[in-house]
């Protein structure tokens, strides 16, 4: 009985530790997606930046004009000078990547992490104010 209990515990522990490795990979992938999005903005490559957006965010942004023009029209100056991330948090299929001058929110899709909101300014006690966001 005791050997069975220890075996079950060790099995559960190994599954839990394997899940932690997955979290590290997911964190790195979310960070990479956010860095790629900001690099595209920094290079004024609005087409590539639009490809990094989640479907709902892209739809919202294109409500008045095509995405590349809409992104170009936004004041995302702080985004383009953000540098490397200072923190990345992953919660299930959602992520937040914090840069010195921006916060980028992402969601996991079958084809990878996509930006759901960017150009975000934190507001203590209230939701962040974002220049780019989906509905």
HEC string of 29-41 equals: HHHHHHHHHHHHH
Residue-averaged pLDDT of the chain = 81
Q: What is the domain extent for residue 44?
A: 2-133
Q: List beta partners, residue 27.
A: none
Instruction: Count structural domains, the chain.
Output: 1
Residue 32: predicted pLDDT: 95
> What burial letters (b/e) apply to 17-56, b meaning 16+ CB within 10 Å?
eeeeeeeeebeebbbebbbbbbebbeeeebeebbebbbee
- pLDDT band for position 82 (cuts 50, 70, 90): low
Q: What pTM value is reported for the model?
A: 0.79
CATH number of the domain encompassing residue 18: 3.10.450
How confident is the model over 49-74, as pLDDT tens digits?
Answer: 999 999 999 999 999 999 999 999 98
């Amino acid at each position: 009985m005791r050997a069975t209990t220890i075996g079950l515990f060790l099995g559960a522990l190994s599954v839990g530790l394997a899940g932690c490795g997955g979290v590290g990979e997911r964190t790195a992938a979310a960070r990479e997606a956010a860095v790629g999005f900001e690099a595209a903005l920094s290079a004024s490559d609005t087409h590539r930046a639009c490809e990094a957006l989640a479907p709902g965010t892209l739809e919202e942004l294109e409500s008045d004009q095509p995405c590349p023009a809409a992104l170009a029209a936004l004041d995302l100056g702080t985004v383009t000078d953000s540098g490397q991330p200072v923190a990345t948090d992953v919660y299930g299929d959602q992520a937040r990547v914090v840069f010195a001058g921006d916060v980028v929110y992402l969601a996991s899709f079958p084809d990878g992490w996509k930006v759901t909101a960017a150009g975000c300014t934190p507001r203590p006690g209230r939701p962040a104010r974002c220049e780019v966001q989906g509905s």
